[in-house]
């Protein structure tokens, strides 16, 4: 019978033969020197060349064409649509500020025109969203 990679603790009770032996719990800086062994002694299955020295690995990194834009027209269209939507959102925030200021000062006529502007700008964004349904 070969010696176990985990030597038996002399203070531990005798092992039960029906239950397979379990490795001891590792705690850094343990008072038990058997738990402070170097990594290659605790885990003999890990070799120094595990990973980078493996002959089965021929190529590392992403495959061919990674990081290259596959559809530049679609990317340009989405970027333009995003810039347009963001400018409309900024306009809506500005319009909301004006509408609230006019409403609070008592000029409800101007506030209603401003509310109409906000609804119209929302409909413009909705129209752009409906423009190309296959791109969602």
- Distance between CA 47 and CA 26 in Å, rounded? 20
Q: What is the pLDDT of residue 128?
A: 77
Q: What is the pLDDT of residues 84-105, one digit of tens each?
A: 888 888 988 998 998 999 889 9
- Distance between CA 82 and CA 29 in Å, rounded? 56
Q: What is the pLDDT of residues 8-59, one digit of tens each?
A: 667 766 666 666 667 665 556 777 777 777 777 777 776 666 566 666 666 6
CA 99, distance to chain mean position in Å, is: 40
**pTM, rounded to two decimals:** 0.44
* Residue 1 clears pLDDT 60, i.e. is over it: no
């Amino acid at each position: 019978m070969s010696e176990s990679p985990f030597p038996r603790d002399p203070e531990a009770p005798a092992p039960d033969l029906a239950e397979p032996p379990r490795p001891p719990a590792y705690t850094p800086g343990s008072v038990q020197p058997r738990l402070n062994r170097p990594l290659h002694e605790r885990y003999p299955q890990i070799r120094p060349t595990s990973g980078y020295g493996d002959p089965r690995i021929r190529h590392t990194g992403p495959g061919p064409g990674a990081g290259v834009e596959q559809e530049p027209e679609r990317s340009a269209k989405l970027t333009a649509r995003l810039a347009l939507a963001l400018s409309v959102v900024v306009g809506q925030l500005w319009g909301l500020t004006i509408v609230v200021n006019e409403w609070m000062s008592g000029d409800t006529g101007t506030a209603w025109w401003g509310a109409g502007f906000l609804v119209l700008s929302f409909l413009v964004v909705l129209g752009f969203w409906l423009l190309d349904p296959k791109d969602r």
